[in-house]
Structure 1
Amino acid sequence: MTTVGFLGLGRMGAGMAARLIGHADSLLVHDIAPDAVAALVAKGAEAAGSAKALGAQCDIVFTSLPTPAIVRDAVAEIASGGSPAILCDLSTSGPQLAAELDALLAPRGVASFDAPVSGGIAKAHDGTLSLMVGGPAQLYPELEPLLERLGKPTFMGETPGAGQTMKLVNNLLGAVAIGVTAEGMAFGIKAGLDPAKMIDVLNQSTGINSATRDKWPKSVLPRTFDFGFAAALSLKDTRLLLDEAEAAEVPLPLGHIIADYLERTLAREGGEADFTAIAKVVEEAAGLDPERAA
């Protein structure tokens, strides 16, 4: 009998947790938002009542939380409740924290995995996320079937934080794609080109990237700027990357440019801004009207 716990039922966590219902003997969930817990209970999960209760009652516990500090505190609370066999952090919380969690959990006999995800809210709900996994290879087969309910996991290695490092690399490339696409599009629009036709050309040419393929057609061209990933979270991830890169003595000038774009986006659009709103910052700097650039 395997009891699985899930802590963190936000926009990503709720979709992932729902994918696990019926694929463990029981699924216990917890979140600081009662409505989020009630929604999962209505689908067949059980309310744990606290993070500590997850540690006391579950064999495997997943966490999906917004910041490294929140992950750190939550894992300490889970560990204070008992000793699950496996704790797997699905958050983007950085390799340094992954190493800290491993050091905290190993003496308790808890195997620590980091498995950050990529793909957004829609893929969380339909189970097509990309998962980058680090942790003990010997125990990975126990975790893999559950991760496969969430998407496609790739085991990156046993070093604590291997998955987190891969996620930060992925996020850098994804954010840079938004920034460089915004710059190219602003230049073309100011020169009089049709933005929709530009995207069509880019998507059949060497300029194609994740921003031209998905973000511009879905969120920037229609001017909804609602792709589903907060600029604040993107900035958090970028700062994590820059801190890790500085410690490793790897210069990342493009990472600093993206951090600046994200900071300016939040200043212009507010704390709830989607990261695709970077386009507005670039358009404004180019002398375009961000409200009519498309």
Structure 2
Amino acid sequence: MTTVGFLGLGRMGAPMAANLLGHVDRLLVHDISPDAVAALVAKGAEAAGSAAALGAQCDIVLMSLPTPPIVRAAAAEILSGGHLRILCDLSTSGPKLAQELHDMASAQGVASFDAPVSGGIRGAELGTLAIMCGGPEVLWGEIEPIVQRLGKPFYMGETPGAGQVTKLANNLLSLAAIATTAEAMTLGIKAGLDPARMIEVLNAGTGANSATRDKWPRSVLPRTFDFGFSAQLSLKDTRLALDEAAAMGVPLPTGERLAALLDRTLATYGDDADFTAMAKVVEGDAGLDPERAA
């Protein structure tokens, strides 16, 4: 019997963990929020009590955590448990940390996978995430059936950080779509066009992208700006990409501009701002009222 652990029951982690219920022999969970743990226990999971307890009782542990320092500390605590065979990081924590986790885990005879996800909260709820995985190929057949419960996994190779680099590239494209869509929509609105009609047209043409298809209809057109991913985490991901690119000698001028726009978004709308609030900054620069009603 394989015992699986899940650490981090936030807006992404909780639905991912829930999707494992009934598909693994035993699921143990932990989070700093007792309420988050209780909600999963009510669905059939078991409370581990601590990250170290996950490492002491589980064969495989998956982590979904917000920042690299938190991932690093959690991994060390999990590895202290002494029973673990596979550690899988679903967070977007960067390739440098993936190498560090690989070194930490392998020193204790534990295999490490980096497996960041894309698809947002809705994808986590529906089990339709794209999962970009790097790790030892010899163990891929063991971890793949588990991550398949979360969405569609893609094996990117054995190099630690292979999944992380793929995810950072994905996030750059996703954020660029938001920024460019904001500029295009602002152009149309200033010209007197109906924004809802514009989105309908763009989605029927070659300008269609993830922002026009999903983010504008759900969060920008209704002026709620609550898609579910923070500008703060977006900036963290963009800076991870810029750091990795600098180390490889790859210029990312668009990434630099995205980081600047996210900085302005946070400065204007606060640390809790959704990443779709980038559109309000672009609109404000054009003289539109970002706080106008839908």
TM-score bracket for this pair, using the shorter chain length: over 0.9
1:101-124 deviation line (CA, Å, top 9, x unaligned): 001111211110000000011111
Q: Are 2:220 and 1:220 equivalent residues in the alignment?
A: yes
Q: Are 2:199 and 1:199 equivalent residues in the alignment?
A: yes
Report the Cα distance in structure 1 between the residues aligned to 2:207 and 2:124, rounded to whole angstroms: 27
Report the Cα distance in structure 1 between the residues aligned to 2:163 and 2:83, rounded to whole angstroms: 23
Q: Which residue of 1 aligns with 2:122?
A: 122
Verify the 8 A CA contact 1:137 1:158 in the aligned structure 2: yes
Identify unmatched segments of 5+ residues in structure 2.
Answer: none
What residue identity is the alignment partner of 1:227?
F
Q: CA deviation at 1:293?
A: 7.5
Q: Are 2:12 and 1:12 equivalent residues in the alignment?
A: yes
Trace 1:95-174 onto structure 2 (pairs within 5 A): 95-174=95-174
1:193-233 deviation line (CA, Å, top 9, x unaligned): 11111111111111111101110111100101111111111
Q: What secondary structure does 1:81 align onto?
A: coil
Q: CA deviation at 1:292?
A: 2.3
1:131-159 deviation line (CA, Å, top 9, x unaligned): 00000001000001111100000000100
Q: Are 2:241 and 1:236 equivalent residues in the alignment?
A: no
Q: Which residue of 1 aligns with 2:263?
A: 263
Q: Which moved more, 1:143-152 or 1:20-29?
A: 20-29
Q: Which moved more, 1:21-30 or 1:66-75?
A: 21-30
Q: What secondary structure does 2:107 align onto?
A: helix
Report the Cα distance in structure 2 between the residues aligned to 1:211 and 1:22, rounded to whole angstroms: 34
What residue identity is the alignment partner of 2:256?
H
Report the Cα distance in structure 1 between the residues aligned to 2:31 and 2:291, rounded to whole angstroms: 37
1:170-210 deviation line (CA, Å, top 9, x unaligned): 00000000001001111111111111111111111111111
Q: What secondary structure does 2:49 align onto?
A: coil
Report the Cα distance in structure 2 between the residues aligned to 1:68 and 1:85, rounded to whole angstroms: 22
Verify the 8 A CA contact 1:83 1:108 in the aligned structure 2: no
Question: Equivalent pairs: percent with the same residue?
Answer: 73
Report the Cα distance in structure 2 between the residues aligned to 1:133 and 1:85, rounded to whole angstroms: 17
Q: Which residue of 1 aligns with 2:73?
A: 73
Q: Which moved more, 1:78-87 or 1:152-161?
A: 78-87
Aligned length: 294
Q: CA deviation at 1:19?
A: 0.7
Verify the 8 A CA contact 1:83 1:110 in the aligned structure 2: no
Report the Cα distance in structure 1 between the residues aligned to 2:81 and 2:62, rounded to whole angstroms: 15
Over 2 Å off, 4+ runs: none
Report the Cα distance in structure 2 between the residues aligned to 1:111 and 1:93, rounded to whole angstroms: 17
1:3-58 deviation line (CA, Å, top 9, x unaligned): 00000000000000011112121111000110000000000000000000111100
Q: TM-score w.r.t. structure 2 length?
A: 0.99
Report the Cα distance in structure 2 between the residues aligned to 1:116 and 1:196, rounded to whole angstroms: 33
Verify the 8 A CA contact 1:2 1:24 in the aligned structure 2: yes
Report the Cα distance in structure 2 between the residues aligned to 1:17 and 1:231, rounded to whole angstroms: 24
What residue identity is the alignment partner of 1:195?
P
Q: Which residue of 2 aligns with 1:185?
A: 185
Q: What secondary structure does 1:62 align onto?
A: strand
Report the Cα distance in structure 1 between the residues aligned to 2:251 and 2:161, rounded to whole angstroms: 20
What residue identity is the alignment partner of 1:194?
D
Two-structure CA RMSD over aligned residues (Å): 0.9
Q: CA deviation at 1:83?
A: 3.5
Q: Are 2:251 and 1:247 equivalent residues in the alignment?
A: no
Report the Cα distance in structure 2 between the residues aligned to 1:238 and 1:182, rounded to whole angstroms: 18
Report the Cα distance in structure 2 between the residues aligned to 1:197 and 1:21, rounded to whole angstroms: 42
Q: What secondary structure does 2:249 align onto?
A: coil
What residue identity is the alignment partner of 1:150?
L
